[in-house]
A and B are shown apart, each in its own frame.
Chain A
């Protein structure tokens, strides 16, 4: 399906990508824009387009894809200035000239590849994003503890985060302070706060996010909410957390 033309009988459209190139591993190079031109095709995504460029035009181009199905969060990048998942971006929805850049804020690996994994691990360690329990390990032979079905669904709603980094890349506060935990961090705190298996209380959460690097650093610009590819209810969750933390 790589080399197909549109079905309408019209001449195929060509699409140009202006890509921000920089390899920090190579001190001799400087950041620059480089343009690649390919023929558009039916149901082509940025995953297909960038691989075609790499396989046929420039094998040095760096980018990250894993699932190419919108579920793993690897491929977030700035597409015409907006952070989004590249694999889910259909080229037919892009203008004739499209600018691609790596997500800001995260450590640059090279070209469109950034180290979201490293940052997310740090965030997880800092906010301790796991179920905290005082119970000894349960007897796995016995019937599991019950959970309200609606609550389970609410937790999953927040658990759907794929840690792609779009919310942080779009965040006004994160542009100014590198130590901001971002909407992804708030979303996870909200998730564990909701989870009855986690024994932490609001004072514990206050200790984690009750300052300007946390929930009080948020300026309520809420681009995070607008760009989240999983449509997580970040706006509500941040507002709710801030109210809870203010009284904690």
Chain B
């Protein structure tokens, strides 16, 4: 049996995974990255519009800083986020953007002087500061008070991924491509790596490591209509869940992006609306101001998606043979802007719709887009239940996004979490207590177990077809666990998913090859996907409130009194058909920003009993410290500096805020 030994095993070759590997390698630890596909093809490349980092270089970003980014992020999360993590994130994001700038990302840059932009259907002249000329530019995005989203045209994720990948290659980091982790090797207390299947040859190998990091992205493919790449099947989530020990957090928090092109679900960026694009209905009417007079098209994604579906339900959708849709109008931005700043959008419209978006409106409808839930970790990225198991990026729930992620915060999170968690992984490897002998025999046992499972699948002549069961699961998730949820439909959905899980035990494969075999892959992934689907549906059914992207028609209010807590899901018994749910309360008394109204969406929630007292306390501290600088006030409200690794510490310089030497 083949065994590979390394200090750090990173599962997933997108931005978060590569950045963690770089951090570990730079601290002298050997890191191997596993990737289903060549890493530059990871779903990170699909992030179009940009990365939030409070650099405050553009005029409309002036006054932006970590405090504003923090508040936007927490409000966006509908107070589900861990505020300590949000603080760590907003303080590191500018550093991450600047690191990428040094490594070669061709960020779009500020052009000093006047320029014309479209804001709220009007042509407005903005004067960019001459002393900002050549600095990284920012655009507007949903749910943000300032223009904060740094971008590379509308190919931001691609440019970032190529930069980080190039940097990883320059450090000689090994990427084992077309390899899939089938199970984590662990003893119930500590994780020691993974059983890995070579997708070309079918060969199984035990990868033994001191630290194992999951960076496998989201689980969008649980849904029929999703913007996610075909590899986003939640396999990292499943690896953790199937240990029976580690928990997943907030899996019911699923984001639907307002502008998936209809009906294929391919993403067109929020940058379209950020740059001034409008949503229109069957009559060509711009309907968002009717619902959201303040933020209009640029409320948070959960709110805009719900308003769109609400408008369709009211009969204002455009009918087509695939069902109703709405329009995204970017014609008002002009051809020059589209051909320079929205060129991927233009290509997508030409290739998949056969239209010219400078002339024609784009048919759109909300599509599954992001998995806020993930492998529950501490702010260091480590699982509280399994030592040596780390997670970062979309696969993780350290919990930056709570129940709704802001646009531009995910691709930012990949590199920020990559930096922070990567440093913690290196710290972990440095510690003498973690230089434990790697358990070769345990690795062999896990490989044998996985081999036996694969052989059983190949040998079984069942009557079910994995592809068909998968399509059924995707239908159920789309119809029962979508944007609008309610008890009956969720219950029915769970029942149907459980029956699918049982039927999945009777899959018969047409192709019996041990090597490259799409049939086999579909079969073993399906069982894991069904467990995740049930976990999402069950969590959604139990959560009898509405928060962020989780919207219950039968419980439309946010209920802080009963539900200001994070869902934890465990799957200890492999034969079970339901996870065990547990809850972790968020402590209002520690919050820098106590729960309140988000500033958009419904102004309707049940207050937590601790909120008034904490609110008064926060206000008192702010009044008392009115002469202190914002850093001192922040520190008094919610100290977090000790949570940042030293490589990420320090204030961030801005034109308006020079660093004191």
Contacts and interface: CB of A to CB of B under 8 A. Distances in A.
A202 interface: no
Given A62-B518, A156-B155, A142 B659 contact: yes
A112 to B, nearest CB: 12
B476 interface: no
Given A69-B348, A70-B351, A156-B159, A149 B134 contact: yes
Q: Which of A61, A72, A146, A192 has the most CB of B within 10 A?
A: A72
Interface stretch (A124-132, A175-183, A236-244): A124-132
B501 to A, nearest CB: 20
A109 B516 contact: yes
B41 interface: yes
Contacts of A149: 108-111, 133-134, 137
Nearest to A42: B321
A173 interface: no
Interface in A24-72: 25-26, 42-43, 45, 54-56, 59-62, 64-72
Contacts of B518: 54, 59-62
B45 A140 contact: no
Given A152-B109, A153-B340, A146 B98 contact: no
B448 interface: no
Interface stretch (A113-121, A203-211, A216-224): A113-121
B40 A163 contact: yes
Interface string B507-542: 001110101111100100000000000000000000
A67 to B, nearest CB: 5
A141 B106 contact: no
B267 A69 contact: yes
A212 interface: no
B41 A66 contact: yes
A11 interface: no
Contacts of B133: 146, 149
B159 A59 contact: no
A96 B169 CA distance: 44
Given A69-B266, A130-B170, A162-B158, A62 B46 contact: no
A91 interface: no
B177 A118 contact: yes
A72 B36 CA distance: 13
A7 B298 CA distance: 36
B41 A117 contact: yes
Contacts of A144: 55, 97-98, 101-102, 135-136
Interface stretch (B301-309, B329-337, B578-586, B645-653): B645-653
Contacts of A88: 351-352
A13 B38 CA distance: 36
Q: Which of A65, A109, A147 has the most CB of B within 10 A?
A: A147
A128 B655 CA distance: 35
A71 B158 contact: yes
Contacts of B170: 128, 130
A140 B99 contact: yes
A121 B165 CA distance: 10
B257 to A, nearest CB: 13
B640 interface: no
Contacts of A118: 38, 177
A130 B104 contact: yes
B95 interface: yes
Interface string A1-25: 1001001000000000000000101
B653 A121 contact: no
A143 interface: yes
Given A130-B170, A163-B40, A71 B264 contact: no
B159 A195 contact: no
Contacts of B513: 26, 60
A148 interface: yes
Contacts of B263: 1, 43
A69 B651 contact: no
Interface in B90-131: 94-95, 97-99, 101-104, 106-111
A155 B40 contact: no
Given A109-B516, A130-B167, A131-B104, A143 B653 contact: yes
B591 interface: no
B519 A60 contact: yes
A214 interface: no
Interface string A154-195: 011001101100000000000000000000000000001001
Interface string A60-89: 111011111111111000000000000010
Contact of B135 (A59, A64, A143, A155): A143
A18 B97 CA distance: 47
B378 interface: no
Given A130-B104, A143-B655, A152-B107, A68 B159 contact: no
B162 interface: yes
Contacts of B110: 149
Contacts of A45: 352
A156 B152 contact: yes
A153 B522 CA distance: 41
Nearest to B100: A144
B212 interface: no
A109 B45 CA distance: 24
A102 interface: no
19 contacts: A25-B200, A56-B467, A59-B518, A59-B519, A61-B518, A66-B37, A66-B229, A71-B344, A117-B40, A118-B177, A131-B102, A140-B99, A143-B135, A147-B107, A148-B134, A149-B111, A152-B106, A155-B106, A159-B162
The 8 A-B pairs at the shortest CB distance, nearest first, are namely A117-B38, A146-B134, A59-B519, A140-B95, A130-B166, A131-B104, A55-B467, A149-B109
Given A68-B266, A117-B40, A124-B166, 11 more contacts: A42-B321, A60-B519, A62-B518, A88-B352, A118-B38, A118-B177, A120-B38, A140-B99, A140-B650, A143-B654, A149-B109
